[in-house]
């Protein structure tokens, strides 16, 4: 297994694409359901759930798989539980609730007390008597004090990614795991799928109702990242990963085809797909991450299952290969959309040309090898161009006050509130 494959297992891909511990509840006659909360890879994964209030970066949020959702109002000096209303089942060992993975957090920049999060495990819908019923989209209007599940009755609740319209927080896109139900009969008949037209949903009423978009769906397609252009909200991009199959102890093989990046220019009504510039090997076209530059929608960066990432200067219509990053972010303070930070696991790197070239600026604190997990998310403060955060498994959150050279840990597993 090469380094990129180990990274895919550790970082983002494997977690929700195998039959997870959360999807197999234990039930005894006359007793409530419980979950075996033993992780199948790295514990306390944070995925893309870390977020900073765009108006005040002392207000921080992060979800840790198994443990729950948390917030800080003092820049990470102290943390409090913020999971009232989030559904979870008791652990088999009786030590408390067991939460699914927290995949993304979006905040209303006009009213930052409003935020929504996504939770994912195996595909399903809210009415199923499995942990899929606990997942999907939750929203809060009191800065995470309380949450309400907002999913449609037949919506696939395995939501990997949320993206919001920059001017209308009620308009939101959700990318899901379009794979088959991972629960055996009698919960699901073999080959049960919950998506038919696209692994992307859209709401225009804050999650009260959702529409499955006609987004070039094929069975087992995953939409692992959805992003909306900040300049033109009609432009929506999505990173896809099609037909992943996983054998025990082996990273899955990309399937018969990949479609790469989906692009819509009409708010999700129609879509085009592109793998232009990506290598022919299907692992090069099976995508795990995608970001659009805040100030320049032509600049797009994606990472694949392979040893490569790709950058685009034409809005995701075509791509150019570059060094692979397990996590990356565009600097929202750079009007050119060229300045980036990334991590290849062991080091923190900086790019001044939209990801075409990178230079090492620091070691990655806390993650010294791919065996120990890798960062999964960078987040820039919107009020201070030198203030950056990154998060990874083990409930790890770090911050830098000098643009990424020096880092201080502000959350770890042993600091999680009980």
DSSP 90-144: EBTTSSSEEB-EEEEEEE-SSSTT-EEEEEESSS--TTSSSGGGG-EEEEESSTT
pLDDT over 60 at 13, yes or no: no
CB-facing half-sphere around the CA of 324: CA atoms within 13 A: 22
The length of the chain, given as a count of residues: 418
Sign of CA dihedral 29, 33, 37, 38: positive
The predicted-structure confidence for 212-224, as pLDDT tens digits, reads as follows 999 999 989 999 9
- The CATH number of domain 3-415 is 3.40.50.300: no
Share of the chain above pLDDT 90, in %: 76
pLDDT category at 6 given cuts 50, 70, 90 is very low
Q: Which of 293, 49, 234, 294 is nearest to 160 (CA)?
A: 49
Judged on CB neighbours under 10 Å (0-12, 13-18, 19+), 328 is buried
Domain boundary assignment for the chain: 3-415
Q: Average pLDDT, whole number, for the chain? A: 89
Across residues 330-356, what is the average pLDDT? 97
Q: What pLDDT, on a 0 to 100 scale, did the predictor assign at position 253?
A: 55
Q: What pLDDT, on a 0 to 100 scale, did the predictor assign at position 87?
A: 95
The rounded distance, in Å, linking the Cα atoms of 317 and 12 is: 24
The rounded distance, in Å, linking the Cα atoms of 273 and 254 is: 17
Across residues 192-199, what is the average pLDDT? 96
Across residues 303-312, what is the average pLDDT? 94
Q: What pLDDT, on a 0 to 100 scale, did the predictor assign at position 42?
A: 87
Q: Which residue has the higher pLDDT, 382 or 28?
A: 382
The rounded distance, in Å, linking the Cα atoms of 251 and 9 is: 7
Q: What pLDDT, on a 0 to 100 scale, did the predictor assign at position 92?
A: 87
Across residues 305-313, what is the average pLDDT? 94
Q: What pLDDT, on a 0 to 100 scale, did the predictor assign at position 63?
A: 98
Q: What pLDDT, on a 0 to 100 scale, did the predictor assign at position 17?
A: 31
Largest CA distance in the chain: 61
pLDDT over 60 at 11, yes or no: no
Least confident stretch, 19-23, 146-150, 322-326, 346-350:
19-23
The predicted-structure confidence for 235-291, as pLDDT tens digits, reads as follows 999 999 987 543 333 444 556 789 999 999 999 999 999 999 999 999 999 999 999
The rounded distance, in Å, linking the Cα atoms of 341 and 398 is: 14
The pTM of the whole model exceeds 0.95: no
β strands within 186-235, DSSP E: 200-203, 211-212, 221-228
**Which helix (DSSP H) or strand (DSSP E) does residue 25 occupy?**
none
The rounded distance, in Å, linking the Cα atoms of 242 and 179 is: 9
Distance from the Cα of residue 345 to its chain's centroid? 17
Across residues 101-122, what is the average pLDDT? 97
CA R_g for the chain: 19
Structure tokens at 71: 């917030």
The rounded distance, in Å, linking the Cα atoms of 356 and 310 is: 8
DSSP state of 355: T
For residue 308, report the phi and psi dihedrals to the nearest 5 degrees. -125, 155
The predicted-structure confidence for 358-388, as pLDDT tens digits, reads as follows 999 999 998 755 667 889 999 999 999 999 9
Across residues 133-146, what is the average pLDDT? 97
Across residues 111-123, what is the average pLDDT? 96
3-class DSSP state for residue 414? helix
Q: Which of 242, 357, 340, 344 is nearest to 291 (CA)?
A: 340
pLDDT over 60 at 205, yes or no: yes
The rounded distance, in Å, linking the Cα atoms of 109 and 95 is: 37
Beta carbons of 399 and 406 less than 8 angstroms apart:
no
Least confident stretch, 16-30, 130-144, 369-383, 400-414:
16-30
Q: What pLDDT, on a 0 to 100 scale, did the predictor assign at position 129?
A: 83
CB atoms near residue 384 (< 10 Å): 11
Q: Which residue has the higher pLDDT, 93 or 65?
A: 65
pLDDT over 50 at 24, yes or no: no
Q: What pLDDT, on a 0 to 100 scale, did the predictor assign at position 244?
A: 53
Residue matched to tokens 């994964």? 45
Structure tokens at 83: 């999971």
């Amino acid at each position: 297994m090469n380094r990129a494959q180990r990274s895919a297992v550790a970082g983002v891909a494997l977690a929700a694409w195998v039959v997870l511990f959360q999807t197999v509840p234990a039930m005894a006659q006359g007793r409530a359901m419980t979950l075996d909360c033993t992780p199948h890879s790295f514990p306390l994964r944070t995925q893309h759930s870390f977020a900073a209030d765009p108006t005040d970066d002392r207000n921080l949020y992060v979800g840790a798989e198994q443990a729950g959702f948390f917030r800080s109002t003092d820049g990470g000096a102290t943390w409090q539980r913020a999971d009232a209303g989030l559904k979870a089942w008791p652990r088999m060992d009786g030590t408390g609730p067991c939460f699914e993975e927290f995949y993304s957090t979006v905040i209303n920049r006009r009213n930052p007390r409003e935020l929504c999060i996504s939770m994912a495990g195996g595909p399903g819908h809210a009415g199923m008597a499995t942990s899929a019923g606990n997942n999907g989209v939750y929203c809060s209007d009191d800065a995470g004090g309380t949450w309400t599940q907002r999913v449609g009755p037949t919506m696939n609740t395995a939501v990997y990614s949320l993206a919001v319209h920059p001017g209308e927080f009620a308009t939101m896109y959700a990318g899901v795991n379009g794979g088959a139900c991972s629960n055996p009969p009698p919960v699901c008949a073999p080959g049960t799928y919950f998506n038919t037209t696209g692994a992307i949903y859209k709401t225009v009423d804050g999650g009260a109702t959702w529409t499955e978009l006609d987004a070039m769906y094929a069975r087992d397609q995953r939409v692992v990242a959805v992003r909306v252009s900040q300049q033109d909200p009609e432009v929506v991009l999505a990173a896809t990963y099609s037909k992943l199959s996983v054998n025990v102890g082996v990273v899955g093989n990309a399937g018969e085809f990949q479609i790469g990046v989906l692009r819509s220019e009409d708010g999700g009504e129609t879509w085009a797909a592109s793998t232009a510039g990506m290598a022919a090997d299907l692992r090069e076209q099976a995508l795990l991450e995608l970001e659009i530059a805040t100030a320049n929608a032509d600049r797009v960066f994606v990472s694949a299952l392979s040893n490569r990432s790709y950058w685009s200067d034409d809005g995701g219509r075509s791509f150019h290969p570059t060094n692979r990053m397990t996590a990356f972010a565009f600097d929202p303070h750079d009007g050119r959309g060229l300045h980036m930070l990334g991590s290849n696991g062991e080091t923190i790197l900086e790019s001044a040309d939209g990801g075409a070239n990178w230079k090492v600026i620091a070691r990655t604190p806390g993650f010294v090898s791919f065996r120990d997990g890798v960062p999964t998310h960078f987040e820039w403060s919107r009020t201070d161009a030198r203030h950056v955060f990154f998060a990874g498994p083990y409930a790890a959150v770090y911050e830098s006050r000098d643009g990424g050279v020096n880092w201080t840990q502000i959350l770890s597993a042993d600091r999680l509130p009980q």
